[in-house]
Amino acid sequence: MTESINFTPDFGAKENSCDIKVIGVGGGGSNAVQHMFAEGIQGVDYLVCNTDQCHLDACKVQEKLLLGNGLGAGANPEVARNFASQSEKEIKEFIGENTKMLFIAAGMGKGTGTGASPVVAKVAHEMGILTVGVVTEPFRFEGKRIKAAAQAGIEEMSKYVDSLIIVNNQNLMKYYNSLPINEAYGQVDDILKNAVKCVAEIITVTYGQNVDFNDVKSIMEHSGKALLGIATAQGEDRVQKVLDDVLNCPLLENADISDAKNFLFFVTYGPSQQITMGELEVLEDRFDEMQSDNVHVIWGHGLDESLGDSIKLSLVVTNFDSAHHEETEVVINTTGDTIVDTIEETPVATPLEIPVEQPRNETPAPAEPMNVEQPEAPATQMQSTPAFTPQTFHFADDSTQLFTSEGPSISREMDYNDDDIFAKMVNEPSIKRNDVITAAQKTQVVVEEQNNAALYELKDDVFDVFHGFAD
């Protein structure tokens, strides 16, 4: 049983009295904040909180908050969550009433970061603070249990943060395989540093065409996954270089931005080579590829004497989803029963029609209207097989495709390639069809009335039309 103790928190000495703060929760988050603290970014207050007193004592960040009894959480997120929940009042005081924006850094999968960071986010949310989460996912070798705990922590945290940046640790092995481990972890820490530096410099420095805190808030508030980056480049193609550095971070999950609805960028340049209108057009063209039709864009620019002939780009992109999927319902009405099956499919702008060849020695039937044929059957068969009740088939796409059938057979003209087994099947009088397969149409199942046995299943792959028959 874990024992808790009462204590009076010592938040240490404040170096700044600003509106932007970054807090590291747990060992991984605290290490990232300490890395940023060593870089000396101006205009930001640094905070760390942990359940491990020894780790707090070794941390160079001055403002610290202990959660629990100081002995750690034993890699148990539930223990850390309870410690944090019991300290919500102290967390609120630690963050400070004057804070306008809070970055929360945490490593997900183990104890304190996974369990306590959602509680910190909840407190900040209740205080009305613009909150951004920067979290890491575990390595694959850490196992499925840690992976599941990380996903649960991320999902819980996402309920309270305005924007979320997810860093995939596994990509360190893929893209930084030759780096020593400390340098590789430094790549992760730089993501947090650059995100905070990007926003801090935009807000706290005044330029000719300025961007203020409320501009940033309008882009990041309630916006989901986010990309924040900052980069500097010089020489030929400096705009292309700076864009590549900002956009191409291999550690970020879903870094491939598409259909983004919120865009904020800020360009600074040196006195010896200011940005030209042609270079601004290059930015415009690249951004057009990522923006939605109703994108909200805020931008600014200014002269920075320290840049010389370089340019610096700060970019904030939110409200995007590069792996967007829609859910489609396939509804099949049988004898009084409704079957609803939810499937995922990639949306397409217009239905993609796949042309199919006519079967050999057959005259194509018109696509519309679809005439239902009743093949002749022996009288004994008609007597022994009950008639089908008329059925209506509904598809999830917008194209209306209905037919009814009565009797022991289903007949529709169907045209497919004659180089597979289906070429023989279309000649059988009991099953004929004529369809245009679209990318939006997934699976259609014809069900026998009496015993609900599937007669056949139409898959979306035109080369694998018949998946199988029920006996």
Comparing 364 with 320, the larger pLDDT belongs to 320
Q: How confident is the model at residue 109 (pLDDT cuts 50, 70, 90)?
A: very high
Task: Report CA 52 to chain centroid distance, whole Å.
Answer: 32
Mean pLDDT calculated for residue range 384-409: 43
Query: Residue 318 and residue 264: Cα distance in Å, rounded?
Result: 9
Q: How confident is the model at residue 85 (pLDDT cuts 50, 70, 90)?
A: very high
The pLDDT of residue 257: 79
| Model confidence at 115: pLDDT above 50 | yes
| Model confidence at 374: pLDDT above 80 | no
The pLDDT of residue 452: 52
pLDDT digits (tens, 9 = 90+) for 440-454: 444 444 444 445 554
Query: Residue 289 and residue 276: Cα distance in Å, rounded?
Result: 21
Mean pLDDT calculated for residue range 87-106: 96
Query: Residue 243 and residue 245: Cα distance in Å, rounded?
Result: 5
| Model confidence at 6: pLDDT above 60 | no
The pLDDT of residue 444: 47
Comparing 5 with 204, the larger pLDDT belongs to 204
What are the b/e assignments for 310-322, b being 16+ CB within 10 Å?
bbbbbbbbbbbee
Instruction: Provide, rounded to the nearest whole percent, the portion of the chain with pLDDT above 90.
Output: 47
pLDDT digits (tens, 9 = 90+) for 130-157: 999 999 999 999 999 999 999 999 999 9
The pLDDT of residue 332: 29
| Model confidence at 398: pLDDT above 50 | no
| Model confidence at 437: pLDDT above 60 | no
Residue 132: φ, ψ to 5°: -125, 125
pTM greater than 0.75 (yes/no): no
Nearest Cα to 354, choosing from 435, 412, 426? 435
| Model confidence at 464: pLDDT above 70 | no
Q: How confident is the model at residue 337 (pLDDT cuts 50, 70, 90)?
A: very low
Residue 281 corresponds to which amino acid? E
DSSP 374-427: -----HHHHHHSPPBPP--B--SSSS-------BS-EE------TTSTHHHHTT
Sort 276 into a burial class: Cβ within 10 Å, 0-12 / 13-18 / 19+.
exposed
Poorest-pLDDT segment among 104-118, 161-175, 243-257, 428-442:
428-442
Poorest-pLDDT segment among 109-118, 319-328, 460-469:
460-469
Average pLDDT, the chain: 74
Query: Residue 238 and residue 251: Cα distance in Å, rounded?
Result: 23
- Residue 178 CB neighbour total at 10 angstroms: 6
Domains of the chain: 1-204 (3.40.50.1440), 225-323 (3.30.1330.20), 325-471 (no CATH)
- DSSP code for 99: -
| Model confidence at 90: pLDDT above 90 | yes
Q: How confident is the model at residue 87 (pLDDT cuts 50, 70, 90)?
A: very high
Q: If you count DSSP H runs as helices and E runs as strands, how many of each does the chain have, helices first?
A: 13, 18
Poorest-pLDDT segment among 12-26, 283-297, 306-320:
12-26
Report the length, in residues, of the chain: 471
The pLDDT of residue 421: 53
Q: How confident is the model at residue 96 (pLDDT cuts 50, 70, 90)?
A: very high
Q: Where are the beta strands (DSSP E) in 3-79?
A: 20-25, 45-50, 63-66
| Model confidence at 21: pLDDT above 60 | yes
pLDDT digits (tens, 9 = 90+) for 295-328: 999 999 999 999 999 999 999 999 886 443 333 2
Q: How confident is the model at residue 335 (pLDDT cuts 50, 70, 90)?
A: very low
Mean pLDDT calculated for residue range 169-196: 91
Mean pLDDT calculated for residue range 202-206: 80
The pLDDT of residue 354: 37
- Residue in this structure with the two tokens 């979290």, named with its chain if needed: 135
Q: What tokens does 357 get?
A: 């060849």
